[in-house]
Amino acid sequence: MKKIIRLIIGSGESCADIRYASGISTPDSFIFYVYDEIRCAIMSPLEIDRARANAKPGVTVAAESEYNGPRRVEILSAIAKRCHCRDFLVPGDFPLALAEKMRHAGLTVAVAEDSFFPEREFKASAEVQFITAAQRAAEAGLARAVDILKKSSIDGEYLAYNGKVLTSEFLRAEIDCEILRNGMLPTGTICAGGSQGAQPHNAGSGPLKAHAPVVMDIFPRSPESGYWGDLTRTVVRGRASAVVRRAYEAVLEAREYCKSLIRPGAFGAEIHCAAEGILEGHGFFTGSNDAGQFGFFHGLGHGVGMEIHENPRLSPRARTALRGGEVVTVEPGLYYPEWGGIRLEDLVWLSGSGEAVCLTTAPDFLEI
């Protein structure tokens, strides 16, 4: 095999591969390359001390000035010279402008077909612990929300808390504060009530109604480890309607059954389709009309690690089998604009020995 320099440029905060490989988390992007036994991060003066403190064993941290920096293309030419190799392999999202400058400087740039670090799919026990810690913060945030909902009074159509109308914004801020106090970072918490809950990505806004489902999807990240948790529960403060109760039971059954299918050799598509079957068996069909999509129209689950959405997928197109080591969400949902949404999401680790371990401890209930 021809030798090639594997190159990533990214910030530790937003590029999971560079953080996974280097151990370094930064707000600004930096250069990381792998060649033979060399794994080297090249840092700006502002970041070098912190990078040295955090780098994984075996990773060399060098200053831009040692590589003709700070201009990127000059640093990359210096790397080529040191390695006696002008050929680079980069991820698909590598910036086009820099690739063109590199080619202009006489370097070759090839795009990797596959993931740079496919081993990210298979978690070591330390990684499972990091994910579990983030999951506990999500659960603390959920518990805070449930407490507020319990203490809310039903004031006609809407909920009130401490004498004020309870809003999605207030509930989200309180969940997020609880996550912060647990040492994790909240990111995009969803608190979507009533018909807003029928849009799976709607974060929720405005007053929350009594007797209507509130979808709470909570996915905090650990600032230290970079790993995420992911948790969704849907509750009703007051009395759920008959259709909401039926939808809840169907989604819960689908989630529990699909969790039982997680084992080595199972295909993501097969598990996804099992959820579809159960939901349809309960009379909940999927389709679209002028008001948009309805039913169950997203993937059943996804891997969680240093990215909130990563491989493997539990979706209709997921044609690879689970092997052991994966951490995946199982999150069936039903969405109908007439009454809103129900989504129930657990996190499951398929251990190396082939056992499916649920990492979520939050209880399940609909009405509070």
Binding site for its own copies (CB under 8 A): 14, 26-27, 45-50, 90-100, 109, 111, 169, 172-173, 176-177, 180-181, 183, 186, 188, 199-203, 223, 288, 292-293, 297-298
Element (H, E) at 272: helix 268-281
The nearest distance, CB 355 to its own copies, in angstroms, is 32
The nearest distance, CB 264 to its own copies, in angstroms, is 30
The nearest distance, CB 126 to its own copies, in angstroms, is 20
One-letter amino acid at 236 equals V
CB-based burial label for 348 (10 Å; 0-12, 13-18, 19+):
buried
DSSP state of 297: -
* Residue 204 or 213 with smaller CB distance to its own copies: 204
User: Directed axis angle between helix 268-281 and helix 242-260, to 10°?
Assistant: 150
Strand partners, 38: 35
The nearest distance, CB 97 to its own copies, in angstroms, is 3
Mark residue 283 as left, alpha or beta (left: phi above 0; alpha: psi -120 to 50; beta: remaining): left
* Residue 66 or 367 with smaller CB distance to its own copies: 66
* Residue 227 or 349 with smaller CB distance to its own copies: 227
The nearest distance, CB 296 to its own copies, in angstroms, is 13
Q: How far is CA 292 from CA 126, 197, 287, 289, in A?
A: 42, 13, 9, 5
* Residue 93 or 355 with smaller CB distance to its own copies: 93
For residues 70 and 64, the answer to whether their CB atoms sit within 8 Å is yes
Pairing between strand 108-111 and 87-90?
A: parallel
User: Directed axis angle between helix 168-181 and helix 125-151, to 10°?
Assistant: 140
The nearest distance, CB 95 to its own copies, in angstroms, is 4
Q: Specify the 3-state DSSP secondary structure of 215.
A: strand
* Residue 169 or 280 with smaller CB distance to its own copies: 169
* Residue 70 or 281 with smaller CB distance to its own copies: 70
